[in-house]
Amino acid sequence: MFNHHPLTRWLLGYEAQRKRMLKKAPEGPLRDFLRVPFPALYTPFDQIPILAVDFETTGLDAVQDKLLSVGCVDLCHNQIKLGSSYHQIINTKGRLKADNVTIHQITDDQKDQGQPLAEVIEQLLKRLAGKVMLVHFARIERQFLRQACLELYGMAPPLPIIDTLVVAKKRLDKRDVAYDPSQLRLSALRATYQLPDHYAHNALNDAIATAELLLAQVNDRADNVALQQLIL
Amino acid sequence: MDSALTEISEFIQAIPPMDLLPSHILEQVVKEISICYVRRGESLPPKGVIDENLYILRKGALSYVSADDELLGRYGEGEICTVFCFNNDDNIKVTTDEDTLLYSINYHNFHQLVGEFSDVMAFFQHTSEQRLNKKMLQVNEDAILNASLLNSSIANFYHSPVVTIAPDASIQQAAILMTEKGFSCLVIANHKQPLGIVTDKDIRRRCVAQGLAIDQPVSTIMTDNMATIDLKSTAYDALMMMTQKHIHHLPVTSNRQLKGMVTVTDLMNNEGQNAVNITSVIHKAKSVSELTDISQMIPKLQIRMAKLGTTADHVGKSISAITMAFTIRLIEMAEKLLGPPPVPYAWLAAGSQARQEQFAHSDQDNALIISNDMQPQHSYWFKDLATFVSDGLAACGFIYCPGDVMATNPKWCQTQDVWAQYFAKWINTPEPKALMHCSIFFDLTTVYGESSLLEQVQTNMLKTTQRSTLFIAHLSRNALNLRPPLGFFRDFVLIQDGENKATLDLKHNGIAPIVDLARIYALSEGIASVNTIERLQQAAGTPSLTKASAANLIDAYEFLSMLRMMHQANKLQQGKQPNNYLSPKEISKLEREHLKDAFKVIKTMQDSRQSTY
């Protein structure tokens, strides 16, 4: 638990990692990403530049499975800016499995008209530079983005992340009552905050839905929380 | 577009006036959205927002209150809060009633995208009163496009030139001229100045039957003091005059100069199944059962007029004219049966019929005013008359008045003196409860008989009401008992339970309060008209009512009446009993907006009335 000490985290944390990696990173999208400092841990919520991100994938294994689409939108100053939204289907190799198509609703035809992975990751890193990534259930996005960076640039950058699932889980754990894990699903959590139903399994839609959920979670507290209390 | 934004743009597109935007503009509007989340009990604009913004409610509810903390209304899901589009000069405060998810759009950017769509911009640039007014202008335009009898000026109908004959011409010369021209009537005129009229019937009854020499001047058999109608009147006015006076020819004048002639046939040719047609059939009916058959046409007429886009004002006037024709025909039948009246009298209509605001299946509200020469033994004749006529009206679908405001009630079958005493008592020693029941008698008109009987009483009554502030105060208090269903949760307060659950009572919460207000203005200003719109028009600019408020009330009244008319037309078409209970689901979102605007207008006027007394 020593890495929760602010100073230790500062030394070993994402900002230190960023600076170290910047020295080694090859010229290109990754280096550009690493050039921009991340926000400090004490940044109050309404000042944190956040990019809500969601991926649709062919499965849960970042090595074997493929990234199908990326959606993201900016959240800053308590506002989700739809003008900043980005959604792109990726032209991955191989055919899609039928049982998957029913979930993400991306067909082979759409996929074939998508953009190559390298271009989409470049776009995403450009948008993510200097920001905290917001996701619901971080494992998927973190691993797939790491994997994509390793394949494309030979190294994976540090990623400061806020995970709405973890924010919710911490609160439930504090209350010390048993809960069903299904309560932590995006749609279930949104429902507890009376947020409207959303059309799930579209990357941009889920990114917006996640950002709305975070707004509700943060505004549920009277005080203005800082990045430190939210970050993974 | 990306399917995420498709979902949002579909949501936006369903909200008037955004539904008027083409999809490529809408797409750009959606890109301007910032999603905000505001906790319950916080005020708008959200923290850190300083721009002039419009807010679309995605989820939650907002209240807006005036600077002195009066609740002005509420915004619910799918509504647009325009309070912060401009400098908020009125210092209106907006707070969230629930945790609220908002789509905020910078108004400056929105204006740049949408500026050329004037219909859309109008929504943002106008107050609720102005929006309502715009809607009513449009409705009236539709009515004019569907030009019906009621919108047509006499100028479109009349025959010109009229065949005239000098007063000193002989009866025979007149008969020859009529035969030559194939006319059933001639106007007797001296240098274009109309003096009288002579018809086929006059020659038969006043000349041939009386054995009068045919070389006598035609002026001896003419009807002088004839009714004429001004060129500027509407065809509807002509119909009313013909129905009331029981005539089929009406000379048209302009500045007292004879311009032409309008006949009942002219009116009928203009429309098929219309009020004129029905009234003319009514005049020819021989029995009550025939009248009953004819009465089946009234709902059809109402449906047809509503579908044609006729305004509620005109429908009300047409139905009222028909009721009047039924009543007159029934009285004629009764007089035939009972013999001539022992003393002069007049049959009076009260309430909606008097105001010419009647719809199909209304109650009958009527009364009798009798000359002061009436003797006790005469009362039987009048009782029989009243029973015959009100039973006849009931057979024709005009149900007996639940409050027993009918000529059959001895209390409302009285001499001129007694009526004068009634009015004096109501005005000088007003009791709120009594007033509630009798305010109907301040809307009174003569349907048949000696109209001077009522006119004298009314003239005196109006002189008194103008001075009697106590009476006006009591009347105002009663009128304020009916409030528009606004100001509670998300703007509408719907009927909670029972058969009409989740509906709005258009009559009691919307139309009746305006009728009441108009009556108060008229009585405090000594205005003789009883029709609500006419009362408001005439009261406009007096100390009781500003011109702008009058215009707003008229718009609100017309809009509410139109909704009621459409609602009833739909019910009638489904073969159901028409009522006044409107479900908000029946109408479009935009109409709901206008409905709220109309209720806001009523509330404003009631509040100012309350502060006056």
Range(s) of chain B covered by CATH 2.60.120.10: 3-125
Q: Which domains does chain A have, with CATH numbers?
A: 2-230 (3.30.420.10)
Name chain B contacts of A220, Cβ cutoff 8 Å: 39
Range(s) of chain B covered by CATH 3.10.580.10: 156-270
**B285 is written with which tokens?**
């009916």
Cα–Cα distance measured from residue B225 to residue B230, given in angstroms and rounded to the nearest whole number: 15
Q: Which chain A residue's Cα is nearest to B2?
A: A87
Tell me if B99 and A87 make a contact (CB, 8 A cut-off).
no
CATH classification (class only), B3-125: mainly beta
How many separate helices (H) and strands (E) can be counted in chain B? Answer: 24, 20
Cα–Cα distance measured from residue B259 to residue B223, given in angstroms and rounded to the nearest whole number: 18
pLDDT range class, residue A12, cuts 50, 70, 90: low
Cα–Cα distance measured from residue A111 to residue A92, given in angstroms and rounded to the nearest whole number: 7
Q: What HEC string does B120-183 produce?
A: HHHHHHCCHHHHHHHHHHHHHHHHHHCCCCCCCEHHHCCECCCCEECCCCEHHHHHHHHHHHCC
What is the reported pLDDT for A153? 93
Name chain A contacts of B2, Cβ cutoff 8 Å: 71, 85, 87, 202, 204
What is the reported pLDDT for B151? 61
Quick one: average pLDDT of A28-45?
93
The one-letter code for the residue type at A167 is V
What is the reported pLDDT for A108? 75
Name which residue leads in pLDDT, A4 or B589. Answer: B589
Tell me if A215 and B36 make a contact (CB, 8 A cut-off).
yes
pLDDT at A109 over 50: yes
pLDDT range class, residue A160, cuts 50, 70, 90: very high
Q: Which regions in chain B score pLDDT beneath 70?
A: 1-4, 70-72, 87-90, 125-152, 157, 265, 267-277, 304, 307-310, 361, 437, 486-499, 501, 611-613
Cα–Cα distance measured from residue B174 to residue B180, given in angstroms and rounded to the nearest whole number: 10
The phi, psi pair for A137, rounded to 5°, reads: 70, 85
pTM reported for the whole predicted model: 0.53
Q: Which chain B residue's Cα is nearest to A46?
A: B48
Q: Which chain B residue's Cα is nearest to A216?
A: B37
Inter-chain Cβ pairs, chain A and chain B, closer than 8 A: 78
Which contacts (CB < 8 Å, 24+ apart) does range B550-554 have?
B551/B133, B552/B129, B552/B132, B552/B133, B552/B601, B552/B604, B552/B605, B553/B514, B553/B517, B553/B518, B553/B601, B553/B602, B553/B605, B554/B136
Q: Tell me the shortest Cα–Cα distance from B46 to chain A, in angstroms.
A: 9
Tell me if B2 and A195 make a contact (CB, 8 A cut-off).
no
Tell me if A193 and B99 make a contact (CB, 8 A cut-off).
yes
Name chain B contacts of A68, Cβ cutoff 8 Å: none
**A106 is written with which tokens?**
């991306």
What is the reported pLDDT for B379? 92
Cα–Cα distance measured from residue B316 to residue B352, given in angstroms and rounded to the nearest whole number: 9
Cα–Cα distance measured from residue B342 to residue B362, given in angstroms and rounded to the nearest whole number: 31
Span between the terminal Cα atoms of chain B, in Å: 59
What is the reported pLDDT for B147? 46
Q: Which strands make up the sheet holding B257-263, listed edge to edge?
A: B229-230, B249-254, B257-263
The phi, psi pair for A222, rounded to 5°, reads: -70, -45
Cα–Cα distance measured from residue B310 to residue B588, given in angstroms and rounded to the nearest whole number: 19
Q: Per CATH, the architecture of B156-270 is what?
A: Roll (3.10)
Which 3 state secondary structure label does DSSP give B105? strand
Q: Which of A30-39, A63-72, B579-588 has the lowest mean pLDDT?
A: B579-588
Q: Tell me the shortest Cα–Cα distance from B93 to chain A, in angstroms.
A: 21
Name chain A contacts of B34, Cβ cutoff 8 Å: 79-82
The one-letter code for the residue type at B263 is T
**A116 is written with which tokens?**
């190559």
Cα–Cα distance measured from residue B213 to residue B395, given in angstroms and rounded to the nearest whole number: 48
Q: Tell me the shortest Cα–Cα distance from B119 to chain A, in angstroms.
A: 25
CB-CB: which of B4, B47, B60 is closest to A87? B4
**B211 is written with which tokens?**
């054995």
Cα–Cα distance measured from residue A184 to residue A88, given in angstroms and rounded to the nearest whole number: 27
What is the reported pLDDT for B476? 84
What is the reported pLDDT for B199? 86
What is the reported pLDDT for B230? 87
